[in-house]
Structure formats: structure tokens, C-alpha cells
Amino acid sequence: MTQATEVLFPTSADEAVAHFGDGSDVTVVGGGTIVMPEITYGRLAPTKALVLSRAGLDTLDVAGTTVTLGAGLPVERLAALAQDVKALAQCALNVADYEIRLQATVGGNLCAGEGRDAPRGDLQGPLLALDAQARSVGADGESTEPLEGFLGRRAGRLLLDVTFEKPAASAFAAIDYAHTHEYTVLAVSGVRTATGETRLAATGLAGFGTRLRSAEAAASDPERAGAAAVADVSLGDDALASAWYRERTLPVLVHRVLGELEEAA
Amino acid sequence: MNLTVNGTTHDVESGPLATLLDVLREELGVTSPKAGCEQGGCGACTVLVDGEPQRSCLTPVGALDGASVTTVEGLGAPESLSPLQQAFTHHYAAQCGFCTSGMLIAAEAYLKRGGTDDREAIQEALAGHVCRCTGYVKIIDAVAAVARGDSFDLTVTAPSPGMTNLGGVS
Amino acid sequence: MKAVGARLPRYDGIGHVTGRTTYVDDVRVSGMLWAKALRSPLHSATITSFDTSKAEAMPGVHAVITHADVPLLEYGHLSALGIPADEPLLAKDEVRYKGQPIAVVAAEDEETAMAAVEAIDIELEERTPLFDIRKAFDADAPKVHQWGNWYTHFEGEMDRRQIRKGSVDDAFDKADTIVQGVYRPAAIEHVPLETQVALVVPEASGRLTIYSCTQALYFSMGVVAAHLQVPLNKLKVVGGTVGGGFGGKVDTASETMCALLAQRSGRPVKWRWTREEEFLCSSTRAPWHMEIADAVTKDGWILGRKMLTLHDSGAYGRFSPYGLTKHSFHHTGAYTIPNLEFDGYVVFTNRVPTTAMRGFGVTSVSFATETHMSRIADVLGLDPYEVRLKNANRIGDTSPNRIVYTDPSTVSVVKALAGGMDVELQPEYAAMSRDPREGDLLPEHLVGQMANPEDH
Amino acid sequence: MAVHKGRGIAAIEYPTGMNQNGDPSQAWIKVKPDGRIDVFAGTSDIGNGSKTIQSQIVAETIGVPYDWITYDNSNTDSSPVCTGTFASRATFVAGKAVEKAAERVKERILDIAGKELEIDPSDLEIVDGEVLAKGAPQKKIAVPDVAAAATWTYGELITGTGAQLKDFASIVDPETGEVDSPPHSAISYAACAAEVEVDDETGVVRVTRLVQVYDVGRAINPTLVEGQIEGGAVQGLGLGVLENCYPYYPSAEHRGGQFGSYLAPGFEDLPQIDTIIIENPSADGPYGAKGIGEMANNAQPPAIASAVYDAVGVWVTELPITPERVLRALEAKAEPTRNGKTFVFDAELSVNAVAQGGIAFEVPA
């Protein structure tokens, strides 16, 4: 398989974009944590692999109140945002373990498809709550759009970076269960903006991360917000937990996040 | 491409998408990193790449042209054991030994970045490494002992914390 | 210097910390082929057509082995204990669990071996699987196994393991309270860090050198010799250094499959299971279903126990009848109960065969009986330490199968635990020992069960 | 949210050796011309440390330093039969075989030393690699010199074999389960207390402390015993609250095929572990040892189940005690049903509730 695979190591973002082209038949390798086992296990035989490790996308820029994360930024580096965006740092540190976080990238975490037997994409939660803008390229060229929209059409696109405004406060709560190379059963992220708006998002769902709009609308009443959140999501059974369990605990996590946001305010 | 492993530079013939683990074990004959899962989940294949711990099963070797890799073979030999290797011996931190290479590498990286003897910090630093034999207690003991700067008598082993021996009672 | 009692370093410890310990996967031989298996994608099915010719013709493929190539297809690992064979090395005509090996191939490299597996043409007709052991006895249950849905070859061709002691009816009649509960521990994986692996080298002498991760060199040699129908001098099993076992590396079959592939190809053959195979296709600890009813007095004596155990064996027997028998012998735990009625069944389901694991047969019953003991203490409003001390095994008490206890330590360990937890025991309990029962600790119901320890 | 603390205990027993016995282990030992000892046994070391333990037994039995021992279990050409490393038999059964072989070797050393010293072998002992006259230790000969004499003077190979085999215990009455002899070697005992914290909103159970007592008979190597006990404790924790091959048992759907979806305990699941060792020697194990390797994961699950009940007042009797099972139990708040003097727990799980007449669990009223 490797003999037949064209493997490209772009050394700049532009080169990466050029190699990616319209994205057809391109397998993007960020940190390798998701793609490499698929290759090893014979489930994926790329015809063209784009390895981003030298593409210079591992940037973390803070300009005033605006934060931009390069798609190639290792997840562990988000720990640096503990002061500015607590929920994002906390969520990042909840991903897998130290070494995986050094290898795994923001782009990989946001773009990977559904997990084999547990949910993936933990960073989608806080970044959705932050209403991050995703800049990506694809067959229709470059575009920048809200992450929420991007997630629905991320297949076939190359993510370059995500940008968001620092919130006034943020909070993160997860089901804290087993600890070997942990996958998140269910997590809720919350943001309080400078203008006092509350945004909530969840991961650990069927499909990918989701904004909890009904819960946001009821944010002033945490009990009601928790109950409302269930209507915002689609839940599934998997190796970690059942839809029943997630339905019971989603309100708890929403409640905890709102409580923490309240305390922070 | 070339790769320096434990101080020796090799030309690598495997394709660029071959995992570093495969290159080390199958092409270069460096067998201390183990293929415990090839999913990134057990930690037994962990090596240092330019000083940082990485799962060699997740790393395409093509991304490492010119890099320097350290495995357990590079930490120390039987006659020149590193402090961690001594500590793992003295504290009986290896039973079947299959996870030990990855544990040692992760612990080495932890101490290199200034890790202390705080047990919770050690647990967090090594969290991605599964050991099914020891129950982790003695591994934490070993890493903490090196962080404290202990020296080790390799002719005996140390008891675990929290042990009481009542002898024979009826 | 005394060696026994000393905290001496591990014999092979320096090898472990320097990465020099050689496990099977670290053995290097030239010309080695990689093996991969075609495994059943279904829980239960009839094989309607099967053709390996495309795989065999692929460049780089050196051998394909199916059931037809195995000299003795079914060999009972515990035939010496009277447990007959029931499991084919490779599936023939039907598959009974998802992951069951149907064919194995040996090829120049792993990728070619995987491609060859893909190239095997197979058609399966799916059947309704059975998973719930509680439904296995129903008349309309799907049929799992050639012997039916449960094992029927205990001594006297009984279909269950029975223990009978004293009179349960009497005990339940005399009881102040009866406490009944159900206990269901799960299947778990052994999770050795080293997955199952074997390497077989055909020697010029005609012998096979078998590098194995087995927990039992001679046991595995016997299994290979039986399947291949060769005397033991044709085999040399090399091993003894294992990356974790926990019971899961006793029923290994990869040695035999590699041996057949090595014979066929004339080349060394290695098969290292992936972690996914280890999790999904290797044998597990068994799930158990245990129901207990205990006849107790209001002051905490257990007069009698009635128990039903269903052991989920998975699709084949393996060591399950042995494990259930061991389970039955220990179903009173660390206590003496004089009146017993135990029935246990080895039940077949369409899941991966279950096998030995640390505490085999007893881990389950320890969970059931000890949780039950805590419930009894709670229902009666008694101290959980004291209920345990009262019923504890004493010298001269007898086990479910009438073996006299000569040196029981229930009392020692429970008293020491109370000490470790800073729990103060009432004086009469603090004064207890394991000595033979007398006085208040020898109530009428325990007199008849006692025996002379000298007769041990 | 409320996190509730609870405590529970359990006491257990476990037999050594294969149930019903009939499981041989054998060993042979030879002595090199300089007195160094080669041990050949077929016991696989799966991490349990049997290479170490059996070497210690040989060193102790003969009376030579531990580092004189070379232990070879590498292959079936040179090593004799060992039924295997399971059933907690590697120290008790296989260790007894090497002890017996070492006794034979010691006899041969004393015999040849007796000739060299012109003292009756029964008046000699071996201490730290030297053969000494009892009561007159100035009369002595080093074991290496004995081995040299055997090789070069007497033309003898100092060697010894040993085998341990306990008779198969037949079931003489399949109706009652009665056996004709003890079906085990020694029985080991243990007790465990678990302390847990249970989150009543998420159902998550965290085991915070395990206090454990083990009667090990005799600790041949206390450090290795601790390793077995600690490793077992964490596997018991896995059994109790984490691990399940079939998360929706009896369904076979949604199995975890990787670390992270199959929940083996990790570093951060580790509770505080306090261990108390008792050494009530066994009658017939090597140096009084018992086999505690396997039982080391048996006491935690029931102790944890009882601790969860103590914490939140519900019994979860299906393992593992997952967050979902705790929440479901809290929701059901199930009390046992009372029927006269009978308290029935878990009726909904019973065969009576699930099977259609094919099997039942009938309890005398």
C-alpha cells in the first residue's frame, strides 16, 4: 500500500493548500493519531497522503482579544490558554493523555469522522461555544465560516485555522469516568461573552459536537436549561455509555457549567 | 531519509507512511518499543523524538527525516543503568516487563521537563500507559524516588508504602 | 544470607529495564512469513460456500490452511479430565461466534496476508444467535452447540454440576429469614500488554521450533502435537517469558495454526494478533449468573444455602466445565454452611468462548456470596464483620464436598481487616480464633458437619 | 450535586493448584564444576516472578547464594513438565518440585563433602555456599570444591530431580459432589475493605481506598507478594467498576475494540492501597507458602458493591458498577420484596423473570 501511496510533506500552508487541490483522494495526516491506526489495520489505503507536520500550521496567535489556532497546533499547547479560555484548556487536557496530546492536532480533533466505538472531537465543544470561525479550503476554494456549519461539511475540506474572541468566562464539565487513554463519554462547554450572551455546546453525542440552543435560551434558569438541552442533541449507544445515560446526565452537566459560569461572572 | 537512533544514524528504506514503530522493530532491529496495540492506546511503543515522547505506532516515519530517536536501549545498558532503570529495578516496577520500555521513556520525559515526586503529577504524566501487572503503585514509587534524587541498592528491593506484616496470627 | 523471605531483585529484572528481554515478537529469523486469519463476521451462520483458490494464487501468498488441512480438527484441551472435545481448530460447515477463525494464510508481509484474507470467497447463511443464558433452556431457544445449549458430560453424564449436603429443606424451615439475590459479574478481557503471538520455524531435521507466549509450555506442546498428530520429539516449544497472561494464554491456538502454515510453506511463520483481535476475538473471562437463597437466623447464622449458577461458556466448552466445578466447590466462600443445594450449568451462547482468568471459577462466586453476606448483615441489622466471623471456617469444619478444613484463616483476615479499618469488635468476636468450634460457636446446626482434621 | 462516601467489606478464600489436582510439575538441577547451580523447570514466567521465586527456593534449600543460581525455563527440550502457570500453582506446586530437586542436590553435595572431610554426611550442613561440620564449623569445604571433587575426582555429575503431583481427587458421587481426597492444595484467605465516593447525579463511582489483608502462608519474596496484591487490587477495581467486554450484556453489540473504549484501569484510577500481610504457614507448600496470585482480584468487587450501597443505599449486583447502573438503581430505589420471612432482591434479573419455564430457581418457602 505504501508503495502505491503518494506521500507529500508540504513545508508551508500555501504548499499544503496547493497539494490538497480539490481534496479528492487526499488523506490528510495531522498528528497521525487517528489516521495511522486505520492504515496499520488495513482499513485505509490512501492514494495520496498529505502529512501536515512541517506545514507551519502549528500556530497559536493571540492578537488583542482575538485568538487563532492553526489546524496543526498540538492539543497539549492549548493548556497555555488556561487563563484566557479556561473551558478550552480544560477540555484539551481532558483529551487522551499527555503524549497523545503532543501528537494530536486541533485540526485532526475537529475534522476526524465519527469514532469506531466511542465519540471523538472533544474540542468541538468549547470551540462551538466560542462560536469559532473555521477557515478552510476545498473544491470551491477558501472560505471562512462558523465552525458549526463547517463541521457539517468538513469531509473533503482542509482546515487551516479557527479563530474566536476571548470570552468573559467559560466553563467545562465532563463525565469523569475511566482513565486509560480516556475518551469522553459526554461533555458540556459553556461561554459567557463580553456582552453577556451565554453559549453552550456538547460533545459525546451521536455524530459530532452540537450547540445547545434551547438550553442557551433558558440559560437564566439552569434547571430548565438542563432539561431543554436534551432536545438539542441526538444521542447514541456506544461502548462507553448508552443514549439513556447521556440523556440523564446531559442536564447535570449543563447545570454544572451554568453554575460555574455564574460563579465566574 | 535518515534517522538517528540512540546516537547511530541510519538510512531508512521503509516508505514514508511506515510507522516509526515498524521501522525501529522490523527494519532497524530495535525491539524495546513494543507493538502493544498499534492504536496509540497502550503506550508500550513510546520513544523520544528529539527529546519529546511520542507513540511510535502513530508516527509516519517520513515526518522524521533527520530526527533523533531515543529508545530504552539508549537510556542505559545493564552495566550503566540510568537512575530510572535502577529505580524500576529497586522498586520492582516491572513484572512481565512488556509495558516497561514505554513507561521508562514517559517517565524520563516527565523528569526531564521538571517533574517532581508528587504522586498525582506522576499518575497524570504516565496516564496513557497501561500496565496490567503491577497496579501502578511501584511504578509511581520508582519515578518519585528518582525525582527525589534517591540512590538505589540493586541487590535488594523496596517495600511498597502502606504495607504492614503481622506475621503469623490465628 | 537467607534467600527465602528476602526482598531479592527480580531474576530477569535487568532485561526488562534495558529493553533486552526477548519476547516472542522480538525473535528474529530470516525468511519469516506473516499469518492472518479469516474470521467469521457473524455470530452464528452456516457456511454455504467457501473457496480459497484466489487467495492461494496471489503473489506473495505461501500457504492457506482450512479445516481440511488439520490432521485432528477437534482436540479437547482437558480431555485428561474427561471433558470431551467440541471445538474445531478452524471452523467447518458452520460458525458459532463472531471472530471464529475459518482459515489462516501465510504471506511475505502483513499487507499481503491481509489482502489474501480479503480474497477468500465465503458465503454465509445467517442464523439466529443466542446470547442470554437465562433463555438457553427455553424450548424455542436457538440451538448453539452440537450437544445442545448446555454441557451434558459431567460425571455420570449429568447435565449439571451438583452439590448436596445436609438438608436444605430443613434449614429453610428452621430459618427466621430467607435472603435471596441475583449476581451477574461481566465478561472481561485479560488485557495482557503482549497480544497473543506465535512463531514457528521448520527445522532441517523435520522438527518444528515453536516460539510461544503460552502460560504452559507442555500444555501447549500437547495441544499442537495432538492437532498435528505427531510425537512430542517432533516439537520444541520455546517460551517461558510472557508479556502478561492472567489466564488468557492457556487456550492459545495460534501455535498450531502457525505450525500448519510452516509445514505447508516450509518457511518460518509468525502470527501476532492485533489489539483489536485481542479485544474482540480472544477468549474472555466468563459472564456468570448466580442466584442465591440463604436460610438465616435472626442472630446471623447461615443454616443453609440454595444456589443456581449459569456459566456463560460462549460457543465452546474449553475450560468451562472445570471452572464450574471449581466454582461449586467454593460456593460457601470463607464460611461454613452445613446444608447445601447447588446446581450449576455450563451454558453455550454465540459469543467468543470464555476461558480461565485470574481466580477462575471463584472470582464470580466470591462476588456473589460476599455481596450476599453484606445484604444478610444489612437485612438482619448486624455488623458485617461479626456475621463473617461467626460463620467463618474453623478447624474441623467441612467444605461443600466434605473436605475438612485444617488451617483456615477467615478469622485471622477478618480480625486484621477490622484492625486496619479501626473498627472495634465486640470482645467475644475479638477473642475468636480458628480453633475448632465449641460452646456458643458450636450451635446445633454445625455439629453434624464437623470432621476430624487428623483425617485430612 | 452530592458526592456520598461509603465503606464495604468482603472476606474470601481461594485454593492453590488445579481443582481436583492431577497437575504435575517437575524440575531438574545440575551443578557446574565450580559449584554454580543450573535449574531447569518448565514454569512460564508470565510476570508473576516464578523465575525469581523458584531460584530463591533452590538457593535456600541447598544453602548457596541466590546469584549462584541460573534458571532456565526456556524450552521443552531441556525443561521437564510443568502443567503451567495458572491456578496459583507456580510457587506452591512448581516451587515444591524445585525444592525437592534441590534437596536431592543437597544430599549429593553433603555425601561428597562427607567423603572429602571424612565426616558422616548427616553431621554436615551447608551455609552460604560452604559445607560445615555441625558444631565444628572450622571443619569445612566450599561447595565449589565439592563440585570440583565430584567432577574431577569422583567422576560424578551432581544432579537431582524433583516432581510434585497430588493425586487426582475423583468425584465419587456426582449427585452430592463428594470427592475422595482434598481437591486442592492449601487454601489461602483474604479480606478487603473498599472506600468509595459516589456522585448521585452522574452515578460515577470512584474507589478511593482499598485496605486488604492476605494470609500468604509465607512470603518467599515479600516484594513480589506485594506486586501480586497491588496488581490484583487494580484488576479487582476494574472488575468492580470499569471493565466489560459486553457493555450491553447479554447483547454482543458495542464491544470496545481499543484502549479507551475497553475500560482497563489506568494510573489515574488508582486508589490508595493499604495492605496487611499475615503469614500462617501452609502445611505442605514450599517453606509454608500459599498461592495468592489469583485471589488478589476476588475480594474488591463485593467490597466495592457493599460500599456503594453504604454510600447511596442501592445494591448494584451486576458488574461492573457503571455510572448507568448506579443511576438506574437510584431511579428504581428498589427495595427487596417481602414474602413472609423471605426477602427477595433482584427479582427482575432472575431466571424466573426471564426464562419461559425451561429453568427456574425455586426456593423452599
Chains contacting D (3+ CB pairs below 8 angstroms): A, B, C
Calpha distance C245→C219 (Å, rounded): 15
Stated as kind and residue range, the H or E segment containing B168 is none
Q: Which three cell numbers stand for residue A14?
A: 500555501
B102 touches chain A (CB under 8 A): no
Question: How far off is chain A from D200, nearest CA to CA, in Å?
Answer: 10
Per-residue pLDDT tens digits for C15-65: 999 999 999 999 999 999 999 999 999 999 999 999 999 999 999 999 999
**Mean pLDDT score of chain D:** 97
pLDDT band per the 50, 70, 90 thresholds, residue B103: very high
What does DSSP say about strands D171-173 and D159-164: parallel, antiparallel, or unpaired? unpaired
SS3 content of chain D, % helix, strand, coil (to 5): 30, 25, 40
- Partner-chain contact B163 D277, CB within 8 Å: yes
**Contact status, residue B68 vs residue B50, Cβ threshold 8 Å:** yes
pLDDT reported for residue C456? 62
The residue type at B77: A
What distances in angstroms separate CA D292 from CA D82, D87, D213, one per listed residue? 19, 10, 11
Residues of chain C neighbouring A1 (CB-CB closer than 8 A): 111
B75 touches chain D (CB under 8 A): no
Percent of chain B with pLDDT strictly greater than 90: 98
Question: How far off is chain B from D228, nearest CA to CA, in Å?
Answer: 7
Residues of chain D neighbouring B126 (CB-CB closer than 8 A): 267
Residues of chain B neighbouring A37 (CB-CB closer than 8 A): 38-40, 57-58
* Range name among A109-118, A178-187, C17-26, D322-331 with the lowest pLDDT average: A178-187
Calpha distance B16→A173 (Å, rounded): 40
**Mean pLDDT score of chain A:** 95
Indicate the residue of B96, B128, B140 with minimum beta-carbon distance to D46. Answer: B96
- Partner-chain contact B42 C274, CB within 8 Å: no
Q: Which value, to the nearest 10 degrees, does the dihedral of the CA atoms of residues D216, D222, D223, D228 take? A: -10
A3 touches chain C (CB under 8 A): no
Backbone angles phi, psi at C177, to 5 degrees: -140, 145
Calpha distance C428→B144 (Å, rounded): 45
**Contact status, residue C392 vs residue C335, Cβ threshold 8 Å:** yes
CA within 13 Å, CB half, D180? 8
Specify the length of chain A in residues.
Answer: 265
Sheet holding C339-348, edge to edge: C161-165, C339-348, C302-314, C288-296, C177-183, D342-344, D337-339
First and final CA of chain A: distance in angstroms? 55
Question: How far off is chain A from D358, nearest CA to CA, in Å?
Answer: 31
| DSSP conformation class of D238 | I
Name which of B19, B23, B58 to mutate to probe chain A: the one with the most chain A Cβ atoms within 10 A of its Cβ: B58
Question: How far off is chain A from D263, nearest CA to CA, in Å?
Answer: 6
Instruction: Give the architecture (CATH level 2) of D3-15+184-328.
Output: 2-Layer Sandwich (3.30)
C276 touches chain A (CB under 8 A): yes
Domains D3-15+184-328 and D20-164 share a fold: yes
Per-residue pLDDT tens digits for A191-214: 999 999 999 999 999 889 999 999
Calpha distance C370→D8 (Å, rounded): 10
Q: Which of B17, B15, B16, B12 is nearest to B1 (CA)?
A: B12
Per-residue pLDDT tens digits for D90-121: 999 999 999 999 999 999 999 999 999 999 99
**Mean pLDDT score of chain B:** 97
Query: Do you find a cis peptide bond into D320, omega within 30 degrees of 0?
Result: yes
Question: How far off is chain D from C31, nearest CA to CA, in Å?
Answer: 22
pLDDT reported for residue A179? 76
Residues of chain A neighbouring B41 (CB-CB closer than 8 A): 180-181
What distances in angstroms separate CA D169 from CA B90, D180, D181, one per listed residue? 42, 6, 5
**Mean pLDDT score of chain C:** 97
Question: How far off is chain A from C187, nearest CA to CA, in Å?
Answer: 14
Per-residue pLDDT tens digits for C195-222: 999 999 999 999 999 999 999 999 999 9
3-state secondary structure chain A: CCCCCEEECCCCHHHHHHHHCCCCCEEEECCCCCHHHHHHCCCCCCCEEEECCCCCCCCEEEECCEEEEECCCEHHHHHHHCCCCHHHHHHHHCCCCHHHHHHCEHHHHHHCCCCCCCCCCCCHHHHHHCCCEEEEEECCEEEEEEHHHHHHCCCCCEEEEEEEECCCEEEEEECCCCCCCCCCCCEEEEEECCCCCEEEEEECCCCCCEECHHHHHCCCCHHHHHHHHHHHCCCCCCCCCCHHHHHHHHHHHHHHHHHHHHHHC
Q: Tell me chain C's radius of gyration from C-alpha atoms.
A: 26
pLDDT band per the 50, 70, 90 thresholds, residue D1: low
C274 touches chain A (CB under 8 A): yes
Per-residue pLDDT tens digits for C143-184: 999 999 999 999 999 999 999 999 999 999 999 999 999 999
- Partner-chain contact B137 D230, CB within 8 Å: yes
- Partner-chain contact A179 D268, CB within 8 Å: yes
- Partner-chain contact B53 A99, CB within 8 Å: yes
Calpha distance B157→C198 (Å, rounded): 33
Calpha distance D111→D105 (Å, rounded): 10
Query: Do you find a cis peptide bond into D250, omega within 30 degrees of 0?
Result: yes
Calpha distance D17→D231 (Å, rounded): 20
Calpha distance C204→D263 (Å, rounded): 46
- Partner-chain contact C239 D44, CB within 8 Å: yes
Indicate the residue of C18, C193, C194 with minimum beta-carbon distance to B78. Answer: C18
Per-residue pLDDT tens digits for C75-96: 998 988 889 999 999 999 999 9
The partner residues of A170 in beta bridges, in order of sequence, read A191
D18 touches chain A (CB under 8 A): no
**Contact status, residue D175 vs residue C401, Cβ threshold 8 Å:** no
Stated as kind and residue range, the H or E segment containing C218 is helix C217-228
- Partner-chain contact C194 B37, CB within 8 Å: no
Q: Which of C65, C62, C71, C68 is nearest to C103 (CA)?
A: C65
- Directed axis angle between helix A243-264 and helix D323-332, to 10°? 90
Q: Which three cell numbers stand for residue C92?
A: 467447518
**Contact status, residue D32 vs residue D38, Cβ threshold 8 Å:** yes
The model's pTM is 0.98
C152 touches chain D (CB under 8 A): no
- Partner-chain contact C276 A41, CB within 8 Å: yes
Provide the 10 A C-beta neighbour count for residue C68.
Answer: 11
ipTM of the complex: 0.98
pLDDT band per the 50, 70, 90 thresholds, residue A116: confident
Provide the 10 A C-beta neighbour count for residue D34.
Answer: 13
Instruction: Scan residues 377-436 of C and list those with Cβ closer than 8 Å to B.
Output: 409, 411-412, 415-416, 420, 433-435
- Partner-chain contact B36 C275, CB within 8 Å: yes
pLDDT of residue A1 exceeding 50, the answer is no
Which residues are within 8 A (CB) of A244 and not within 5 positions of it... i.e. 6 or more apart?
D324
Which residue in this structure is represented by grid cell 448507568?
Answer: D324
Name which of D189, D267, D279, D280 to mutate to probe chain B: the one with the most chain B Cβ atoms within 10 A of its Cβ: D267
The residue type at B8: T
Closest B-chain CA to A27: B17
pLDDT band per the 50, 70, 90 thresholds, residue B165: very high
pLDDT band per the 50, 70, 90 thresholds, residue A3: low
What would the mean pLDDT of B56-84 be, rounded to a whole number?
97
What would the mean pLDDT of C388-417 be, rounded to a whole number?
97
Per-residue pLDDT tens digits for A160-181: 999 999 999 999 999 988 777 7
- Partner-chain contact D280 B169, CB within 8 Å: yes
pLDDT band per the 50, 70, 90 thresholds, residue D348: very high
Calpha distance A172→A178 (Å, rounded): 18
**Contact status, residue B126 vs residue C44, Cβ threshold 8 Å:** no
pLDDT reported for residue C1? 57
Q: Domain-by-domain residue ranges, chain D?
A: 3-15+184-328, 20-164, 335-365
Percent of chain C with pLDDT strictly greater than 90: 97
Indicate the residue of B43, B58, B128 with minimum beta-carbon distance to A36. Answer: B58
What would the mean pLDDT of A91-105 be, rounded to a whole number?
96
- Partner-chain contact A245 D327, CB within 8 Å: yes
Is D20-164 a domain of CATH 3.30.365.10? yes
Give, in degrees to the nearest 5, the angle at Cα C452 between C447 and C456.
135
Provide the 10 A C-beta neighbour count for residue D281.
Answer: 17
What would the mean pLDDT of C278-306 be, rounded to a whole number?
98
Question: How far off is chain D from B11, nearest CA to CA, in Å?
Answer: 33
Which residues are within 8 A (CB) of C323 and not within 5 positions of it... i.e. 6 or more apart?
C286, C311, C356, C360, C361
